Amino acid sequence: MPFGWGEEFNKVPCPGGKIRYVIKKMSDMGKAFSLYAPEVDYLVKGSLRTAQMIAEGGGEVEVKKKAEQIFENLDSIHIDAVTKFTMHYTVFMASPCDEAAYDNLSKAIDKISESIDTLRRLVTEMDRLKNKHLGGSAAEAIGNIGIIEGLLTDLGQAYKPE
């Protein structure tokens, strides 16, 4: 069994000797997403923590309100990414040896993973926002918010379920 694939997965032998690993329970879908798209999951969760820290910390009220909106938007985008993955994974799960289902899942994972560069930029901009906000530079922090909102729009398009 591949590294990180615990007891939550069944090993399914397919014709031609291929082996596919399929989660046993739908309730473990989050674990499957984390295994298939680990960097996406990690970067989004890190940005969510940063937005929450800004929203709950001291400083300029306008920046804190924007951080709350960023948190809500990013959380919604993350839910869309997991939903997109779940849709394709559910079809794959029903027929793991079907090449079309496997290819569609692979394409969905690739599409989600294509956003890695945008997510990395988001993490950088979130850190800049945090540092400017905590450093007392509200005007500069507000400038970063526009950049972050643009990145969130890009991510929203990439993760939108079909």
Q: What angle do CA 14, 19, 23 make, to 5 degrees?
A: 105
Segments in the chain below pLDDT 50: 1-3
Instruction: Mention every residue, 6+ apart, whose C-beta is less than 8 A from residue 31.
Output: 8, 23
Could you give the CA distance from residue 144 to residue 146 in angstroms, rounded to a whole number? 5
State whether residue 26 is helix, strand or coil: helix
22-59 burial: b if 16+ Cβ within 10 Å, else e: bbeeeeebebbbebbbeebbebbeebbebbeebbeeeb
- What is each CA distance from 13 to 29, 101, 105, 108, in whole angstroms? 21, 16, 18, 23
Cα(60)–Cα(152) distance, integer angstroms: 22
pLDDT tens-digit map of 71-110: 888 888 888 888 888 888 999 999 999 999 999 988 888 8
Q: HEC profile for 121-161?
A: HHHHHHHHHHHHHHCCCHHHHHHHHHHHHHHHHHHHHHHCC
Which tokens is 47 given? 């940005």
Residue-level pLDDT at 102: 92
